Amino acid sequence: MQDDLDRILFHETTILSRLDELAAQVSKDYRDRELTVIAVLTGSLMFMADLLRRIPLPLKLDCLSVASYHGKAQTSGEVIFKQVAVPDVQDRHVLLLDDILDSGHTLAAIREKLETAKPRSIRVCVLLSKKKARARHVDADYVGFEIEDEFVVGYGLDFMERYRNLPSIGVLRKELIAQPQ
């Protein structure tokens, strides 16, 4: 798997020390509020597990599963919810977690859907945010790292369901994206 990377962007130790900082910030901001975390699977799995274990607050956790890529390296713009029921977040302070903010379609669609359940507040926390013009505007309240507009894998992020178990985050070699197996 390592050989498929053009270069590594963030080693595991770098990711974890950034999560210490993010978790400290979230813990401070939510110290007097009851937090409900909604994580977007599958990409945010590692991020969710490592971040939440660093937040010493009582919280509720729910996961949402959506798809927008259909095995390609570019978003289709259509966000398909794999479950119909919206988590019960009425009157809750929601923190939405996702692996990466790219076009913005995914988080904008989830945010809109959660708003129908009348939460008290919604904030967005992403591990990575691509520096680019987005198709849909999304305010990310907590960002782990800003990256260039390149396709990255590892630490939960996949290309065609592979590379999620790489401990670090790296840029996938361009020729692999052009000609998937």
Q: Which of 159, 150, 137, 157 is nearest to 70 (CA)?
A: 159
Instruction: Name the residue nearer to ligand IMP (CB basis): 6 or 33.
Output: 6
Rounded Cα distance, 149 and 144, in Å: 15
The residue annotated as part of the active site, out of 99, 102, 139, 141, is 102
Residue 154 is a binding residue for Mg ion (CB under 5 A) = no
Q: Is 43 in the site for Mg ion (CB under 5 A)?
A: yes
Phi, then psi, of 111 in degrees rounded to 5: -60, -45
Whether 50 is catalytic is: no
Instruction: Restricting to residues 49-108, name those near ligand IMP by CB under 6 A.
Output: 68-69, 75, 98-106
Stretch that binds ligand IMP, among 1-9, 11-19, 27-35, 145-153 (CB under 6 A): 145-153
Determine, following the binding rule CB under 6 A, whether residue 5 of this chain makes contact with ligand IMP.
no
On the 0-12 / 13-18 / 19+ scale of CB atoms within 10 A, 1 is exposed
What lies within 8 Å, CB to CB, of 57 at 6+ separation is 27, 30, 31, 35
Q: Which is nearer to Mg ion, 55 or 126 (CB)?
A: 126
Catalytically active residues are: 102
Contact positions vs Mg ion (CB under 5 A): 43
